[in-house]
């Protein structure tokens, strides 16, 4: 089924199933507790009446004013079962037995129920309590007249003369047995003298009350279930709303609108945190895509210039016959344009490898101060041409890395410091250890960089004003420097002030 593939429907089904189980368990438990309470009260009343009947079973009947004591001077006498019931005998019950002896000639026990206990078996009681008493031989001692019809019909069959009370109860070692049938409940008790007393009553009021309780629990449980399912549907929909927003935003972004963002209002929830992470990812994606577009445009622009030079020179040379010197000049111009293209392509390939993590760097210990000195000697000719003085103060520091790549960084910084310096300016190079890092600073006395351009100097193809533009400069040098330093686990920063100069600072981890 398709709806089972929906997270919302799955959560709703699980929630509904759990709610049904909880409500059913609560309802059944509440019903059983109420049923046990009511039946326990009934059983207590039955056992209380059994005790009263047991006490009255061997009490001799007594005549008197109060119905409890015989007249003065007369001894108590045993009730004769052939005599009519005493005046204080309770309503709703009678004495049974048509002989004084049992089946085996034994004397039947005497039975006398006090008047004060007669209300326990009153006919107007809604529970209609009744009793039956038999001796050890199964002979009837006493029986109430309000017992159920089905018990009256089966009485002769159940209590045949000679039937022992242990056979009546079904468990000879059990003093009492509870039996429920139709709308009645009975307790059968065997006395130590082996008489059997059965007391029963109607449980119709309790059963009616239990049916009413069950119906109430069913209606309340159904209402709670409906409200719970409706509330669960609302909560599940609200909880999964960010998922729909994420999907809708992702669709818009995949269509090309990278400016779309997910509403991360619920930042405290897991989905809110996911939305924040996705928004950050989308922002980086938009930035990277914009940089890629700008990079492609800048690369095409930079490559177009040397290609244009080559095409122009070759077309001019082929337009008509020229002398050897003219052809030589044309070839030299094409060569310079081709070298510029080669440098640009190599720089682009280097950046691409760094971006992809495919650039392989050697990891060897070397003296960084010696690399700096070699780079300073390499550019001294360029510095002399522009009248720039280079001063180097580098203490010996050993680091682990690719000496050639780091030499490329130092050479690039020194070349920029000379090229964009003032005539008769100065370039100061310092290397020192600080807090486990090798700190290299390259400071020039040039015109400086505008504050609005400082955050973009490491961008690809970035060139500031004319003072930062030189022949053949594609604006990739500082981007490559940053990629090399980052690959060595270091950082590169720039600080500049217009009219004062610029300082580049590189921090690299020291070996050991």
Instruction: Please state the φ and ψ torsions of residue 376, each to the nearest 5 degrees.
Output: -65, -40
Domain boundary among 176, 209, 242: 209
- What are 350's two structure tokens? 């280097």
Whether residue 80 is found in the same domain as residue 99 = yes
Let me know if residue 340 belongs to a domain: yes
Angle (CA) 223 228 230, round 5°: 100
- What are 345's two structure tokens? 């392509």
Check residue 99 and report its DSSP letter: S
C-alpha count within 13 angstroms, C-beta hemisphere, residue 340: 23
Let me know if residue 387 belongs to a domain: yes
Whether residue 122 is found in the same domain as residue 193 = yes
- CA-CA distances (angstroms) from residue 17 to 21, 229, 279? 6, 10, 36
Cβ neighbours of residue 461 closer than 8 Å, sequence gap 6 or more = 294, 295, 298, 299, 301, 302, 474, 475, 476
Provide the angle, in degrees to the nearest 10, between the axes of the packed helices 270-319 and 324-356.
170
- Domain with residue 465: its CATH number is 3.30.565.10
**56 and 114 in contact (C-beta within 8 Å)?**
yes
Cα(477)–Cα(106) distance, rounded to whole angstroms? 129
218 strand-pairing partners: none
Helix (H, G, I), strand (E, B) or coil at 318: helix
Domain boundary among 305, 335, 356: 356
Let me know if residue 250 belongs to a domain: no
Whether residue 346 is found in the same domain as residue 292 = yes
Q: Is 357 left (phi over 0), alpha (psi -120 to 50) or beta?
A: left
Whether residue 286 is found in the same domain as residue 420 = no
- Domain with residue 338: its CATH number is 1.10.287.130
Let me know if residue 255 belongs to a domain: no
| Confidence at residue 4, expressed as pLDDT on a 0 to 100 scale | 67
Q: Please name which of 103, 86, 105 lies closest in space to residue 95, comparing C-alpha atoms.
A: 86
Cβ neighbours of residue 68 closer than 8 Å, sequence gap 6 or more = 62, 114
Let me know if residue 265 belongs to a domain: no
Domain boundary among 336, 356, 376: 356
| Confidence at residue 443, expressed as pLDDT on a 0 to 100 scale | 94
Let me know if residue 263 belongs to a domain: no
Cβ neighbours of residue 293 closer than 8 Å, sequence gap 6 or more = none
Let me know if residue 8 belongs to a domain: no
Instruction: Please state the φ and ψ torsions of residue 250, each to the nearest 5 degrees.
Output: -60, -35
Percentage with pLDDT > 90 across the chain: 26
| Confidence at residue 175, expressed as pLDDT on a 0 to 100 scale | 58
For the chain, the maximum distance between any two Cα atoms, rounded to a whole number of angstroms, is 175
Q: pLDDT tens, position by position, for the chain (512 residues)?
A: 666 677 788 888 888 899 999 999 999 999 999 999 999 999 999 999 999 988 888 766 554 433 444 444 444 333 333 334 444 444 334 433 333 444 444 455 567 777 778 788 887 888 889 999 888 888 888 888 887 776 654 444 444 444 444 444 443 334 578 888 888 999 999 888 888 999 999 999 999 999 999 999 999 999 999 999 998 888 888 777 777 778 888 888 878 777 888 776 655 566 777 778 888 888 888 887 877 777 777 777 777 878 888 898 888 888 888 888 888 888 988 998 888 888 788 878 887 787 777 777 888 999 999 999 999 998 998 899 889 999 999 899 999 999 988 998 999 899 989 988 888 899 999 999 988 899 999 999 988 888 888 888 887 776 665 444 444 456 778 888 998 999 899 999 999 988 889 999 999 998 75
Cβ neighbours of residue 257 closer than 8 Å, sequence gap 6 or more = none
Check residue 2 and report its DSSP letter: G
- pLDDT tens digits along 354-409: 777 777 788 899 999 999 999 999 899 889 988 999 999 989 999 999 998 899 89
Whether residue 193 is found in the same domain as residue 91 = yes
Cα(186)–Cα(181) distance, rounded to whole angstroms? 8
Cα(244)–Cα(265) distance, rounded to whole angstroms? 14
Predicted TM-score (pTM) of this structure: 0.48
Cα(88)–Cα(69) distance, rounded to whole angstroms? 12
Whether residue 68 is found in the same domain as residue 201 = yes
What's the distance, Cα to Cα, between the start and end of the chain in Å?
A: 64
Cβ neighbours of residue 316 closer than 8 Å, sequence gap 6 or more = 330
Domain count along the chain: 3
Whether residue 158 is found in the same domain as residue 59 = yes
Give residue 456's Cα distance to chain centre: 44
Let me know if residue 432 belongs to a domain: yes
- Domain with residue 132: its CATH number is 3.40.1840.10
Query: In terms of residue numbers, what domain contains 300?
Result: 270-356
Kind plus residue range of the DSSP H or E element containing 38: helix 7-57
Using CB atoms within 10 A of its CB, is residue 147 exposed (0-12), middle (13-18) or buried (19+)? buried
Whether residue 336 is found in the same domain as residue 205 = no
Cα(110)–Cα(113) distance, rounded to whole angstroms? 10
Whether residue 53 is found in the same domain as residue 202 = yes
**149 and 130 in contact (C-beta within 8 Å)?**
no
Cα(294)–Cα(285) distance, rounded to whole angstroms? 14
Whether residue 200 is found in the same domain as residue 172 = yes
**278 and 246 in contact (C-beta within 8 Å)?**
yes
| Confidence at residue 473, expressed as pLDDT on a 0 to 100 scale | 58
Whether residue 352 is found in the same domain as residue 413 = no
Whether residue 309 is found in the same domain as residue 284 = yes
Q: Is 386 left (phi over 0), alpha (psi -120 to 50) or beta?
A: alpha
């Amino acid at each position: 089924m398709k709806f089972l593939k929906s997270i919302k429907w799955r959560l709703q089904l699980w929630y509904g199933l759990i709610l049904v189980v909880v409500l059913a368990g609560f309802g059944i438990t509440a019903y059983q507790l109420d049923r046990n309470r009511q039946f326990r009260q009934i059983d207590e009343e039955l056992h209380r009446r059994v005790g009263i009947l047991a006490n009255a079973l061997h009490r001799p009947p007594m005549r008197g004013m109060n119905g409890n004591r015989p007249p003065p001077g007369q001894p108590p006498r045993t009730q004769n079962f052939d005599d009519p019931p005493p005046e204080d005998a309770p309503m709703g019950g009678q004495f049974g037995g048509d002989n004084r002896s049992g089946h085996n000639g034994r004397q039947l026990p005497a039975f006398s129920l006090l008047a004060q206990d007669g209300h326990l078996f009153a006919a107007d009681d809604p529970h209609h309590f009744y009793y039956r008493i038999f001796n050890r031989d199964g002979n009837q001692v006493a029986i109430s007249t309000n017992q159920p019809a089905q018990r009256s019909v089966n009485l002769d069959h159940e209590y045949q003369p000679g039937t022992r009370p242990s056979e009546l109860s079904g468990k000879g070692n059990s003093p009492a047995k509870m039996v429920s049938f139709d709308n009645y409940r009975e307790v059968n008790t065997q006395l130590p003298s082996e008489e059997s007393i059965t007391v029963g009553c109607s449980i119709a009021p309790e059963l009616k009350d239990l049916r009413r309780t069950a119906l109430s629990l069913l209606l309340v449980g159904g209402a709670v279930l409906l409200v719970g399912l409706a509330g669960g549907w609302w909560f599940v929909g609200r909880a999964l709303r960010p998922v729909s927003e994420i999907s809708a935003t992702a669709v818009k972004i995949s269509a090309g609108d990278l400016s779309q963002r997910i509403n991360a209002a619920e930042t405290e929830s897991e989905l809110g945190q996911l939305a924040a992470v996705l928004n950050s990812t989308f922002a980086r994606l938009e930035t990277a895509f914009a940089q890629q577009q700008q990079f492609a445009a800048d690369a095409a622009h930079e490559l177009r210039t040397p290609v244009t030079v080559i095409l122009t020179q070759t077309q001019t040379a082929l337009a008509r016959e020229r002398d050897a010197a003219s052809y030589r000049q044309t070839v030299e111009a094409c060569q310079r344009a081709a070298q510029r293209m080669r440098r640009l392509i190599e720089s682009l390939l280097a950046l691409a490898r760094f971006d992809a993590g495919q650039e392989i760097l050697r990891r060897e210990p070397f003296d960084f101060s010696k690399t700096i000195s070699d780079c300073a000697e390499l550019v001294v000719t360029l510095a002399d041409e522009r009248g720039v003085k280079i001063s180097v103060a580098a203490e010996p520091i050993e680091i682990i890395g690719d000496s050639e790549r780091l030499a490329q960084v130092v050479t690039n910084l020194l070349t920029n410091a000379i090229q964009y310096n003032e005539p008769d300016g100065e370039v100061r190079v310092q290397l020192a250890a600080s807090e486990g890092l090798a700190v290299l600073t390259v400071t020039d006395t040039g015109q400086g960089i505008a504050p609005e351009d400082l955050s973009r100097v490491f961008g690809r193809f970035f060139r500031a004003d004319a003072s930062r533009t030189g022949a053949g400069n594609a604006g990739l040098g500082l981007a490559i420097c940053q990629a090399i330093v980052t690959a060595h686990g270091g950082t590169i920063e720039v600080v500049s002030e217009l009219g004062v100069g610029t300082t580049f600072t590189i921090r690299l981890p020291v070996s050991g």
